Amino acid sequence: MARKWFGVLVVVLAAFAAVYLGPWDAEGKGEEGLPKAPSAGTSGDSGREGATESLPKTSRNSSPAATSKPRERPLVSKVVPGGIRVFSKVPKPERYLNLPDGTFVAPLNGVQEPAPFLWPKNIPFAPIIGKELDDHGRWWYLHKDGSKSTTYMAMHPQTGKLDARTDIANPRTPIRVGGEGSSK
């Protein structure tokens, strides 16, 4: 008798998951922990830049609290080589890197809430064109001008707690120090 009820419970839980997680894949999330991007054949205004797509409402749950505000998904404005999705709008901006051109990308290296992305004001922003893994196992975004940017967690020396860090490395022209033609 207990096995029968256990089987019924499993079926009920599976139906609940299918109804409430139906628009998502089997794990609930796509690459980098984000909802999967809508396919090209979806309806709605997902073709417009700056639009957000809402998850479909289910007819089984008619409570006002569940249908009052649909959940929003990040809207992919473009995908760059390496499968990096650049978003034009996201529901929780604090969980993404807000780039100077007004777009968003997911943080790297398992960071949940990244530190601000502070691109130098004296250097024009270069869009992301890919990503690479360095010798220490840290992922970096590659920018069109040769710059690199990354996010990671590091131990704060005073508090002893992990803090989110965002680093940007911009290429510079070498400066000649000493040698011929320099004043000492």
What pLDDT sits at residue 17?
52
* Both tokens assigned to 10: 């499993």
- Rounded to whole angstroms, the Cα distance separating 69 from 39 reads 23
* Both tokens assigned to 45: 């205004």
Higher pLDDT, 23 or 143: 143
pTM score: 0.56
- Rounded to whole angstroms, the Cα distance separating 142 from 130 reads 5
- % pLDDT > 70, the chain: 57
Domain ranges of the chain: 11-38+46-54+65-169
Instruction: Give the residue ranges of DSSP H helices in the chain.
Output: 2-20, 64-67
Handedness of CA 117, 123, 125, 129 (dihedral sign): negative
Kindly state the average pLDDT of the residues 168-184.
76
* Both tokens assigned to 70: 């649909």
